[in-house]
Amino acid sequence: MILRSLFMRRAANLGATLLMGFGTFLVLLPLGIIFYHIIKMGFSSINLHFFTKIPKPPGEIGGGMANGMAGSAVMIGMASLVGVPVGIFGAIYLTEYGSGKLGTSIRFCADVLSGIPSIITGMVAYALLVVPLQGFSALAGSFALALIMIPIVLRTTEEQLKMVPVSLREASLALGVPLWRTTLKVTLRSALTGVITGILLATARVAGETAPLLFTALGNQFWSKKLTEPMAALPLQIFNFAISPYDDWHRLAWGGALVLVVMMFGLSLAARWLGRGRHTG
Amino acid sequence: MEGRLDTSTTRKNGDSLFRTVTLLFACSIIAILLVMAGEMVTESLPSLRKFGWGFITGSDWDAVQGSFAALPYLYGSVVSSILAIGLATPLSVGTALFITELAPHKVGAVTASLVELLAAIPSVIYGLWGILVMTPWLQSTVEPFLIEHFGFLPFFRGAPYGVSMLAAVFILMIMIIPIVTSITKEVLLAVPPSQKEAAVALGATRWEMIRMAVLPYGRSGILGAVILGLGRAIGETMAVTMVIGNTPQISLSLLSPAYTMPSVIANEFAETTTKLHASALMEIGLILLVVTLAINFLARLLLWSVTRRWKGGVA
């Protein structure tokens, strides 16, 4: 290393420190700006009708996004029905038996899968469900969301199960409880809050997914009555209203964005709160 | 726990049944990957057969004539993602260093959770903000400035449209910074304290310690984070679709509208009229899948080598 004067070294240190601090400021700046706009524009467009009415045609004042919120809730619920059990049981396999090559490759596949663009998941759901059923449907939308949920639930649950002390399992096994019951009644139960945290985070993640719904659930201007017909979803409505040229619809989109953000942060705050309780209690 | 006594055979049966059932669920991950890849390949076969290599070298996309070639979309995806990751990398590494090495513990923790908040915002909300706030600002302020002062460069020629490659690069940069930052942070936290202590004990300043002990140790992990960010940028759909202008053209100018692979799928796939059109879009999806698979594979290998207990939930 070339010897430099202490002054130069200190100056370089100061410069680097300032640059890093400034960089961090630049990174966080958009967060502030985006939140400012969502809150400012969102609150002014939210009222009771926003939660109870369906969108009105452009030009008519008022209307809401009730069908989108309900549709999102239905599809996320159905996706969780598939994604949560598959993820949890898969994670149990990885924790209990997955130390070998197969376990490693499943983990690797899960990580790779969560990096695949969600629009491709939507195309696959289209090919597997929309084409055979001959129409866009809430079912296909839920299926696409479930595919996205599975690897997330699997990996977060595995992390939680691994944190359960071996001594607990050993105690149960020593009492003569078979491994499968130990897993379900001791390991899974001790990790339950952590597992729920993971599920909440996965839900928050799929709640904002738009691309996989574009050609599966498609969206709906009205209420959907059946799972086999197109269904509205909050993110889809935000997208369609945002790219429309109408100010009224822009207002609705901002309101929808506020609802979506509040819901997602609510979920992750709940997850955090649960996670914290586990460490202290 | 009921105090029932299991005989050793029923116990064995119960355990092996349990093992098989959980194995099936775990293997669904591999099945999903295989089914996805298989579906994408079979669905794109008509287009693959008809256009061959011409699909990625030509630039004629005409649903009415039934001729499809995807070069403008490839170009748009590659350029927007590479520029975005180029801008995002120094900022992300700087922020990760700020969190792990510079800031007092509490400030670092708050910064880290703010970065995670940024990562949690859905793509469509970035797009909403991008199209209604950022692009008007680019059109009225930034782009005229660039044209006036840097208009002699081919990158800043043309009229200020607002919706443009530049807008896509900006929005992508904002969106991938949180991911790259939080993974880089994990990598930096995995640097053994002894390395840093050794540097400090030899009289290094904080910056020298970062440069000589922290960064070299985390190099492959940071590279993994950057590659993962690149994969995210290439696959990003909604926000880019909303701000890039959706015009299939290849132009050096960052101010002109462009188009990306996910955007053309998002815009056209629900309304295809012919089988060939759908198949051509599927082929674009297939290219996207192959590229992101390769990128993720590489990134995960790099990251797994750094830290064995890698959380899947982060990305």
Dig out the tokens for B173 from the structure: 């940069």
* pLDDT tops 50 at residue B107: yes
Characterize the bridge pairing of strands B61-62 and B67-68: antiparallel
DSSP readout, chain B? ---PPPPHHHHHHHHHHHHHHHHHHHHHHHHHHHHHHHHHHHHHHHHHHHHTTHHHH---EETTTTEE--HHHHHHHHHHHHHHHHHHHHHHHHHHHIIIIIS-HHHHHHHHHHHHHHHHS-HHHHHHHIIIIIHHHIIIIIHHHHHHHHTTSGGG-S---SSSHHHHHHHHHHHHHHHHHHHHHHHHHTS-HHHHHHHHHTT--HHHHIIIIIHHHHHHHHHHHHHHHHHHHHH--HHHHHHS-------S-TTS----HHHHHHHHGGG--SHHHHHHHHHHHHHHHHHHHHHHHHHHHHHHHH-SS--TT--
Q: Are A198 and A270 in contact (CB under 8 A)?
A: no
Its CATH architecture, for the domain B50-306, is Orthogonal Bundle (1.10)
> Which of these, A201, A49, A239, A204, lies nearest to B127 by C-alpha position?
A239
- For chain A, say whether B131 makes contact (Cβ under 8 Å): yes
Q: Give the nearest partner residue to B33 out of A113, A154, A211, using CB atoms.
A: A113
Confidence of residue A277 (pLDDT cuts 50, 70, 90): low
Q: Measured between beta carbons, which residues in chain B are less than 8 angstroms from residue A90?
A: 22, 25-26, 28-29
Q: What pLDDT is attached to residue B306?
A: 74
pLDDT reported for residue B308: 56
Q: Looking at the complex, does the CB of residue B224 fall below 8 Å from at least one CB of chain A?
A: no
| Mean of the per-residue pLDDT values of chain A | 91
Q: Does B262 touch chain A (CB under 8 A)?
A: yes
HSE (CB half, 13 Å, CA atoms) of A139?
Answer: 14
Q: What is the pLDDT of residues A148-193, one digit of tens each?
A: 999 999 999 999 999 999 999 999 999 999 999 999 999 999 999 9
Q: What is the pLDDT of residue A274?
A: 83
| pLDDT category of residue B309 using cuts at 50, 70 and 90 | very low
Give the separation between CA A274 and CA A210, rounded to whole angstroms. 28
> How much is the pLDDT for B5?
56
pLDDT at B12 exceeding the cut of 50: yes
**CA distances (Å), origin B199, targets A59, B195, B211, B218:** 67, 7, 10, 15
pTM higher than 0.95 for the full model?
no
Task: Name the pLDDT band for B138 (thresholds 50, 70, 90).
Answer: very high
- As its CATH architecture, domain A70-233 has Orthogonal Bundle (1.10)
* pLDDT at position B139: 95
The pLDDT score that the predictor gives to residue A243 is 95
Say yes or no for a CB contact (<8 Å) between B98 and A20: yes
Interchain pair B25, A114: CB under 8 A: no
**A278 pLDDT higher than 60:** no
Q: Nearest to residue B164, comparing CAs of B124, B123, B130?
A: B130
- Among the partner-chain residues B90, B102, B313, the one whose CB lies closest to the CB of A201 is B313
Query: How large is the average pLDDT for residues A223-235?
Result: 94
Q: Is the pLDDT of residue A272 over 60?
A: yes
Reported confidence tier of residue A3, pLDDT bands at 50, 70, 90: low
pLDDT (mean) for B233-254: 95
Chain B residues with CB under 8 Å of A114 CB are: 312, 315
pLDDT at B6 over 60: no
Q: What pLDDT score does A206 carry?
A: 94
**Structure tokens belonging to residue B214:** 């922290």
Residue B14's pLDDT band, with cuts at 50, 70 and 90, is confident
Q: Report CB contact under 8 Å: A31, B114.
A: yes
For B17-26, the pLDDT digits (tens) are: 999 999 999 9
User: pLDDT tens, B77-105?
Assistant: 999 999 999 999 999 999 999 999 999 99
Residue A101: both structure tokens together: 């090559």
Stretch among A48-57, B176-185, B275-284 having the lowest mean pLDDT? A48-57
pLDDT at B2: 46
Q: What is the mean pLDDT of residues A115-120?
A: 94
Contacts of B300 (CB under 8 A, 6+ apart): A108, A111, A112, A115, B224, B228, B310
Distance from the Cα of A276 to chain B's closest Cα (Å) equals 14
Contact B315 A238 (CB under 8 A): no
Torsion angle of the four alpha carbons B9, B15, B17, B21, in this order, in degrees rounded to the nearest 10: 180
Average pLDDT over residues B152-168: 93
Position B8 confidence tier, pLDDT thresholds 50, 70, 90: low
* High-pLDDT (> 90) share of chain A, %: 78
Average pLDDT rounded to a whole number, residues B64-85: 95
Q: Is it the case that residue B313 has pLDDT exceeding 50?
A: no
pLDDT band of B255, cuts 50, 70, 90: very high
| For testing contact with chain A, the best of B207, B208, B305 (most A CBs within 10 A) | B207
Confidence tier at A57 by pLDDT (50, 70, 90): confident
